[in-house]
Structure 1
Amino acid sequence: MDTSVHTLSALFEQLGLASSHEAIEQFINTHKLFSDDVLLHEASFWNDSQAAFLRDAITNDSDWAEVVDELNNSLHA
């Protein structure tokens, strides 16, 4: 059972990305999704396993869904 705290930093670690506050800010600032038609997991900057994780988190309403939604909102802002 996964008992870790699901934060944006933990999500970035789960995705294999740098997870410091500065790294997350830089990622969000350089990976904007300008169209609401582009779903988060369909963005071209994810590899296959990252995209699958993000898709499954939302589709299955997993423990990660809330923080994945937070990332989605940040990238679409």
Structure 2
Amino acid sequence: MDMSVHSMSSLFEQLGLASDETAIDKFISAHRIPHELKITQAQFWSPSQVEFLKEALESDSDWTEWVDLLDARMRE
């Protein structure tokens, strides 16, 4: 899978969130996910964000690795 097409910044853009490095770091720091929840079960996502994340993970799209990376960062 070619990850050069996308980036963490472009993932945040797809989610309708501020996408500069500082905003991404702030978002991740403010939105931690407990280990027992899936990323799509976190309460802070909008329904459209949940749908995008689910679709990315279920279809093994070119967004999947970026969603997985975001998930890991939100659990550190």
Task: Provide TM-score, normalisation by structure 1.
Answer: 0.90
Report how far residue 6 of structure 1 moved.
1.1
Partner in structure 2 of residue 14 of structure 1:
14
Partner in structure 1 of residue 36 of structure 2:
37
Secondary structure of the structure 1 residue equivalent to 2:56: helix
Secondary structure of the structure 2 residue equivalent to 1:12: helix
Residues matched between the structures, number: 73
Partner in structure 1 of residue 74 of structure 2:
75
Moved over 3 A (4+): none
Q: Give the letter for the 1:46 counterpart.
A: W
Report how far residue 71 of structure 1 moved.
0.2
5+ unaligned residues in a row in structure 1: which ranges? none
Deviations, residues 18-54 of structure 1 (Å, cap 9, x unaligned) = 0000000000000011x22110011000000100100
Q: Percent identity?
A: 47
Secondary structure of the structure 2 residue equivalent to 1:76: coil
Partner in structure 2 of residue 47 of structure 1:
46
Report how far residue 11 of structure 1 moved.
0.2
Question: Structure 2 CA distance, aligned partners of 1:46 and 1:5?
Answer: 24
Partner in structure 2 of residue 59 of structure 1:
58
Over the residues paired in the alignment, what is the CA RMSD in angstroms? Answer: 1.1
5+ unaligned residues in a row in structure 2: which ranges? none
